[in-house]
Chains A and B, each alone.
Chain A
Amino acid sequence: MAYIKAVNIKVRFPVLRGSGPNSYGHEAPQGLDDSRLIRNASGAITGVQALDGIGLEAAKGDRWALIGRNGSGKSTFLQVLAGLLPPDEGVVEMSSRPTNLININLGMELEADGRRNIMLRGLAAGWSKKEILARRAEIEEFSGLGPFLSMPVGTLSAGMRMRLNFAIATAFDPEILLLDEWLSAGDVEFQKKAAERMDRFVAAAGIVVIASHGRRLIERVCNRCLWIDAGKARMTGAPKDVLDAYELAMAEEHALQERIAAQ
């Protein structure tokens, strides 16, 4: 039975001191909320509190949307769920190995062709050669790349790479799928195919966690929504309610800023 249980996740990004652009010293980078900076005894910045006690529980068939402004911690949270970043505190427990599509440009051998990348990514995700070969035709078909599959992946457009990545990741019917917002960057035809694939996924009672700004995508796919603000959970609920509250808050903030600017 598929499930995710993430409790009280805290992540601090270390800020390495030493030479180079990483040494901010005592000054907070402009626009960064000072409450999220971690300082040592002498006041120098040593880290950023990216996630501050966030959690999520998903049972079979749950499709969570993560929303929040840029830098709020959506992608960091996804990376923790995917096992890419170790949490400083808290525990993530899940029923099976998650499949993630967090960064579209990563995890490809750019000079190898599409078919070879299907094999490499499949192996890296823990599938056997036989399993990958059995799914290859389906992946090739779904990607819609046709003759482009025999070209180096580095020569493909960003959209084509995304289609290939998505086709590989979803072909093996993962129980748990973690997606970052770039999914909404596809063209209309791809969005339709992706949505159909999501429906198949939902019918199989898999779990999806998707970080997105796209209201249409969220309302179509998701049944739960988590609003992350400055690394903390701000609101949880049905997508429509949370999105409404989020958009209202953003509009109010924008209005406030305009008033300050006008003064």
Chain B
Amino acid sequence: MVHQSKIEGNPAQRERFVFSAHSQFGVRGIIGDIFAGFRAGRVWRAFAWEETKRRYRRSALGLLWIIIGYVAFVGAVALFFGNFNLATAEQIKTIEQYATHVGLGYAAFALITSNIQDGAALFTNAAAWIKSVSLPYSVYALKNVTRTLVPFGLQLASWFAFALLTGHVFKPVALLTLPAIAIIVFNAVAMQLFFGFLSARYRDVEHMVATILRVLLFMTPILWTYDGTSGVTRVLADFNPITHFVEIFRAPLTGNPPTAANWIFALCSTVVIWGAAILAGAVLRRRLPYLV
């Protein structure tokens, strides 16, 4: 379904399939692809699960490794950076609060950045399928996004277990985290498509992304707190969209409503990210089978 358009024919006939030079150009082509992709839900769900299984096949602990890795990371950070942050941050009074700050921040950060990282390898990894099965290309993006939800869900569940054990108090404002997750996942689809198309054409993108993401971990208030810093660090965090996506997700669960600025920045980023994804798709989609 690279470039197929179904057209209504004689009602006595079944749907007709037309592949032509004119049916798949530009913005209409990529938007049609995305809608067709969403409709093929059972395909990307099955493939997402298959890939998750593939990553942990023949491993004794399997998905448990996600939880182990997460707990080890958050535990180590709390151990080594905890006291320093307790001394500087205003809103963090206990080591449990700091662990929550790191744990939730890291889960959201990992969800966002794994979608960028996987996106940069999206179509090159799917090349075998692109060259043999006629599916909307967005199916591969949706498959990847679905797959990244598995580690995120397990990490979130680990944090909930921790919160219950330590007697964390949930306020009603915690529900605001749900629209935040929704908007992060919505953006994940666009990030997959944008970096997928771009890196299919420009192979340096995948390496560039890996380099930038490593730096971004330090530019996002995860290991440190936003109100505990000032000057350049603060400005860099302000201009890092991931800061705001992490904040709208994390703040409600820690009992603080996220600021309007966080939400406005996140929504503006959404428009930019989706715009970039559609532009990249409009320009590169038609040539994709030649690029991968």
Contact = CB atoms under 8 A, between A and B. Distances in A.
Contacts of A86: 2-3, 19, 21, 24, 286, 289
Contacts of B53: 112
A106 B47 CA distance: 15
Contact of B133 (A81, A105, A107): A107
Contacts of A14: 287, 290
A262 interface: no
Interface string B33-48: 0000000001100110
Contact of B135 (A1, A81, A102, A124): A124
A93 B13 CA distance: 13
Nearest to A47: B290
A96 B6 CA distance: 10
Interface string B226-240: 000000000000000
A97 B53 CA distance: 30
B18 interface: yes
A23 B131 CA distance: 23
B170 interface: no
B85 interface: no
A24 interface: no
B19 A80 contact: yes
B132 interface: yes
A97 B17 contact: yes
B18 A91 contact: yes
B1 A83 contact: yes
A71 interface: no
A200 interface: no
Interface string B1-17: 11110000000011111
Given A86-B3, A107-B133, A124 B43 contact: yes
A58 to B, nearest CB: 14
B289 A84 contact: yes
Given A86-B286, A86-B289, A111-B54, A98 B132 contact: no
Contact of B4 (A83, A102, A106): A83
Contact of B132 (A84, A94, A95): A84
Contacts of B128: 105-108
A204 to B, nearest CB: 15
Nearest to B135: A124
A109 B43 CA distance: 14
A88 interface: yes
B57 interface: yes
B251 to A, nearest CB: 40
Contacts of B43: 123-124
Contacts of B94: none
Contact of B2 (A13, A85, A93, A98): A85
Given A88-B21, A96-B17, A106 B46 contact: no
Chain B interface residue count: which class?
35 or more
Contacts of B18: 91-94
Nearest to A96: B14
Main secondary structure of the interface of A (DSSP, over half): loop
Contacts of B1: 83
A87 B20 CA distance: 6
B133 A124 contact: yes
B21 A90 contact: yes
Nearest to A8: B21
B50 interface: yes
A123 B14 contact: no
Interface string A28-64: 0000000000000000000000000000000000000
B129 A106 contact: yes
Given A84-B2, A109-B54, A120-B46, A92 B19 contact: yes
Contacts of B289: 79, 84-86
Nearest to A2: B14
A212 interface: no
Interface of B: 1-4, 13-22, 24, 42-43, 46-47, 50, 53-54, 57, 128-135, 286-287, 289-291
Given A83-B1, A84-B131, A103-B131, 18 more contacts: A13-B290, A14-B290, A82-B134, A83-B17, A86-B286, A92-B17, A92-B19, A94-B16, A97-B134, A107-B132, A108-B128, A109-B50, A111-B57, A112-B54, A119-B46, A123-B46, A124-B43, A124-B135
23 contacts: A14-B290, A83-B1, A83-B4, A86-B3, A86-B286, A90-B20, A91-B19, A92-B19, A95-B14, A95-B16, A98-B134, A100-B134, A102-B132, A107-B128, A107-B129, A109-B50, A109-B54, A111-B54, A120-B47, A123-B42, A124-B43, A124-B47, A129-B42
